[in-house]
């Protein structure tokens, strides 16, 4: 605020969406690596009318294939035809959806690392010149991110600068802005 003028307030909307498959954290049975990558390929095995479906991933160090269980001994008629077709056609969107499913992660004892597999779309694209910026953040799917990294990316600041702004009260929200988050939230940034 300068003199008797009122502060200029603007709003922006951010959308966090996947930009690829996340790294899969799981100990390799062949080497000491704990990172696997998938290309979104499925393996379907039929035993009469029962199907097993796995999502295939490769160890980044030794190339060993690991099969992540998606479905186990499921009757073929209980699977939606579109999903069954997606398994056979290796549809990337289906692989991404199933990989992000907490039940699949729990069943296979994996953790997803979204470090380099997400992107931020901003509307408007360029940050408005305002004294106060209201930011609404939405997640296209469950992508747990460190909030300081997300805010730093959107505001074109370093994580250290974001941490200082949070400590000084220039960045505030109804929720805690530390740790990881995968749910929609809003925050306010006061430039001064």
Helix (H, G, I), strand (E, B) or coil at 66: strand
Residue listed under structure tokens 């530390």? 178
Which H, E and C letters describe 79-134, residue by residue?
A: CCHHHHHHHHHCCHHHHHHHHCCHHHHHHHCCEEECCCCEEEEEECCCCCCCCEEE
Angstrom CA distances, 43 to 50, 54, 66, 95, 115, stand at 14, 5, 11, 12, 27
- Asked which of 113, 138, 160 is the last residue of a domain, the reply is 113
DSSP-derived pairing of the beta strands 23-25 and 9-18: unpaired
The parent domain of residue 164 ranges over 9-19+117-190
With cut-offs at 50, 70 and 90, classify the pLDDT of residue 100.
confident
Whether residue 29 sits in one domain with residue 99: yes
With cut-offs at 50, 70 and 90, classify the pLDDT of residue 1.
very low
Residue 147: CB atoms within 10 A of its CB come to 22
Whether residue 73 sits in one domain with residue 61: yes
Tens digit of pLDDT for each residue in 20-60?
999 999 999 999 999 999 999 999 999 888 999 999 999 99
What would you report as the CA-atom Rg of the chain, rounded to the nearest whole angstrom? 21
Q: Pick from 100, 105, 184, 174: which is nearest to 142 by CA?
A: 100
Position 122 pLDDT exceeds 90 = yes
Q: Which residue has the higher pLDDT, 151 or 6?
A: 151
Q: How far apart are CA 102 and CA 143, in angstroms?
A: 11
With cut-offs at 50, 70 and 90, classify the pLDDT of residue 159.
very high
Tens digit of pLDDT for each residue in 76-86?
999 999 999 99
Q: In percent, how much of the chain has pLDDT > 90?
A: 80
Query: What DSSP line would sit under 140-189, residue for residue?
Result: SS---EEHHHHHHHHHT--HHHHHHHHHHTSEE-SS--SSEE-S-EEEEE
Mean pLDDT of the chain: 92
Whether residue 34 sits in one domain with residue 108: yes
Question: Averaged over 80-109, what is the pLDDT?
Answer: 93
- Asked which of 53, 84, 113 is the last residue of a domain, the reply is 113
Question: Averaged over 138-143, what is the pLDDT?
Answer: 91
Length of the chain: 192
């Amino acid at each position: 605020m300068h003199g008797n003028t009122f502060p200029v307030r603007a709003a922006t909307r951010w959308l966090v969406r996947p930009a690829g498959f996340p790294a899969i954290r799981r100990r390799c049975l062949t080497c000491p690596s704990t990172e696997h990558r998938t290309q979104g390929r499925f393996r379907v095995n039929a035993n009469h009318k029962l199907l097993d479906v796995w999502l295939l991933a490769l160890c980044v160090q030794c190339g060993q294939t690991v099969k992540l269980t998606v479905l186990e001994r499921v009757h073929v008629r209980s699977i939606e035809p579109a999903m069954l077709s997606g398994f056979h056609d290796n549809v990337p969107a289906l692989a991404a959806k199933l990989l992000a499913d907490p039940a699949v992660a729990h069943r296979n004892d994996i953790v997803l690392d979204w470090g380099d597999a997400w992107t931020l779309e901003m509307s408007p694209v360029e940050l408005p010149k305002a004294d106060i910026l209201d930011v609404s953040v939405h997640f296209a799917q469950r992508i747990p991110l460190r909030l300081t990294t997300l805010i730093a990316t959107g505001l074109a600041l370093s994580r250290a600068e974001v941490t200082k702004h949070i400590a000084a009260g220039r960045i505030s929200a109804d929720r805690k802005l530390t740790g990881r988050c995968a749910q929609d939230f809003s925050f306010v940034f006061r430039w001064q």
